[in-house]
A = this chain, B = another copy of it.
Amino acid sequence: MTESRVSGSVRIIGAGLLGASIGLVLRRNGVDVSLVDSSPTAVKLATEYGAGRPSRADDAPTLVIVATPPDVVADVVAGALDEFPDAIICDVASVKGSILHDLEARGVDLARYVGSHPMAGRERGGAVSARADIFTGRSWVVCSRDGLAPGAIRAVVDLATDCGANVVEMSTSDHDAAVALVSHVPQIVASAVASSLVGAPAKSVELAGGGLRDVTRIAASDANLWIQILGANSHDITSVLEGIRDRLDAVVAALKDGTATTATLAELLASGNAGVARIPGKHGASAHFATILVVIDDRPGQLAKLLTDIGELDVNMEDLRLEHSPGSAIGFAEVSVLPAAEAGLVRALEERGWRIAGDGA
């Protein structure tokens, strides 16, 4: 049992993956947790997993956590504000502005409502997938606003901290603009690129390399959940997506009529270089690492041996990716290290018999 910041009694509404995972953390810390869900089976399952207990009529929670699907959060928050007039009410949905606006339109006092967004796991899977660890080391955005009740923000920051998350305080509108940029628009674009594969000849798709795999990876996400998320953040998504659509439009136009093709492409590629350099890598540093490709036989234990060797060479590996060639028994491990460590590592690995297949193109 670790020291708990959250005290008193907590009500969790929505006993899915997020709700049940929070329940597991709080129960592990000895906090009283009552569970409510539109599905009695979900409550039963989460209770059996140790995420809390069924609710009672005389429950008097000091903190209510709304962890329902995004499209019913505003309704549920409004109900909780009414039912528990002394409690702080928070939610964990991944879009915040539309919920706040919906609540404001009802004319109820929102001083006790705090929106938050743990950027962890996925929002489906149910209690069966719940784990106390899913928030560890993840960002958990807590949306500050004017006019909040004393202690309201504190209560949610304490919850996120108890869950092991890194608390990020930002305004509702800043949050929604940020997730549009770093999550929602990339999802839409990845889906659009993956869509272009649907009617393509198999022989074309078989030439796919790591680049296409990377770009389209999140296109495999749960469509039903994303419809709700994307639909609830249309304003912020639109402004980012229009910019990207316009850039693609400019490229199409330049390629079609052949004028200023080189300049248009050069501008896009340079701007892409600059943008990707802004994404924080490990330890918050920018992602400027040297990568080397090591050939590994596709046998169990080979990769563990490589990593053991790298560890013995006392080189700090910044990142690792695996790549397989379709139809081949050969794999590649792409090892990222600080540029200063590259030459020495290549030499040392070759001395140990590893084959280096160039850099990670």
Contacts and interface: CB of A to CB of B under 8 A. Distances in A.
Nearest to A250: B192
B191 A272 contact: yes
A183 B209 contact: yes
B213 A215 contact: no
Interface string A164-175: 001010100010
B327 A279 contact: no
A191 B271 contact: yes
Given A17-B358, A182-B205, A207-B139, A189 B189 contact: yes
Interface stretch (A106-114, A143-151, A236-244): A236-244
Contacts of A266: 223, 227
A196 B141 contact: no
A46 interface: no
Interface string A193-226: 1111110111111111101111111111101001
Contact of A211 (B129, B218, B311): B218
B137 A275 contact: no
**What size tier do the contact residues of chain A reach?**
35 or more
B240 A196 contact: yes
A57 interface: no
A29 interface: no
A261 interface: yes
A195 B168 CA distance: 25
B204 A270 contact: no
A186 interface: yes
Given A244-B196, A265-B226, A355-B133, A252 B238 contact: yes
Given A244-B248, A359-B129, A211 B186 contact: yes
A275 to B, nearest CB: 3
B245 A249 contact: yes
Contact of A281 (B122, B204, B324): B324
Interface string A304-324: 100110110010110111101
Interface in A283-323: 283-284, 287, 295, 298, 300-301, 303-304, 307-308, 310-311, 314, 316-317, 319-322
Given A248-B245, A361-B121, A215 B186 contact: yes
Nearest to A328: B137
A31 interface: no
Given A129-B359, A192-B248, 19 more contacts: A121-B358, A122-B359, A133-B358, A137-B325, A181-B196, A182-B211, A190-B214, A195-B244, A197-B276, A197-B279, A208-B280, A215-B215, A231-B261, A242-B252, A245-B245, A281-B324, A281-B326, A282-B326, A304-B308
